[in-house]
Amino acid sequence: MDIIDSIILGIIQGLTEFLPVSSSGHLELGKAILGDNSIPQESLLFTVVLHFATALSTIVIFRKDILDILKGLFKPAFNEDRQFAVKIIISMLPAVIVGVFFEEQLEQLFGGNIMLVGCMLLVTALLLFLADKAKNTNKKVSFKDAFIIGISQAIAMLPGISRSGATISTSVLLGNDKTKAARFSFLMVVPLIIGKMAKDILGGDLSFESQNLTALTAGFIAAFIAGLFACTWMIALVKKSKLSYFAIYCAIVGIIAIVFSILN
């Protein structure tokens, strides 16, 4: 994979990780269009590096929030920041369970099943449309909400389901404030991405030996910069109830994918 391809894929990952259009689907599509002939281990490494870049962009955008949460963990009282940290942990549980016990079954769904991707994009479109019509409130995410949102995140492991779209939509439909919903959605995935990367490296699934470090670095930087832009933009879009545009996009792409699958 050359530097230009890496930059293009990095931009795709950075934008679609936060915009509710399914980043994994777009990244794999981008690889196919660019003719990525990497062996599976190299392709996996590149994907993980790009996800780490977007996680880092989330940390930069929400650095103050994360610092407050970390400080709150060391305070004796069960304060608001500690409560938020517990909610993040609760939200992670469904995805961790699915990842640990159903990893092989999940990977089998990413074998070019266009019909499944199309159907899941329609589900994403419906969620975004409903969330866009919901009234804004000042309600914070509760412990119960955190677990339900976590279930949405676990379901979003399916190809075609947007993680940010599913989690933000679920949170908003539960009656939570739209800005708080977006904040919670972006923060809840950071520990999962970092944990997954650490697991793959320690488990020997990833190796940086004999890799094109220049291309990896270029992709990482592109994904990080694009992620900074997309994360900030997405928060504004959710607050202004502009998710319907993405609902239309997902519906169109989903229908095209289903029709393509039927004709072939």
- For 36-80, the DSSP string reads ----HHHHHHHHHHHHHHHHHHHHHHTHHHHHHHHHHHTSSS--H
pLDDT at residue 244 is higher than 80 = yes
Query: Angle at the Cα of 88 (from 97 to 75), degrees rounded to 5?
Result: 130
pTM of the model: 0.81
Residues 54 and 231: their CA atoms lie apart, in Å, by 9
Q: How many CB atoms lie within 10 A of CB 81?
A: 19
Q: How far apart, in whole angstroms, are the C-alpha atoms of residue 29 and residue 13?
A: 11
98 contacts 192 by C-beta, under 8 angstroms: no
pLDDT in tens, 27-70: 666 666 666 555 444 566 777 788 889 889 999 998 988 888 78
pLDDT of 92: 92
At 107 the three-state DSSP class reads helix
Q: How many CB atoms lie within 10 A of CB 236?
A: 11
Domain coordinates of the chain in residue numbers? Answer: 3-263
- CA-nearest of 177, 186, 168, 180 to 131 is 168
Residue listed under structure tokens 């070019």 = 112
What is the per-residue pLDDT across 195-232, written as a single tens digit (0 to 9) for each? 877 777 776 665 555 557 888 889 999 999 999 999 88
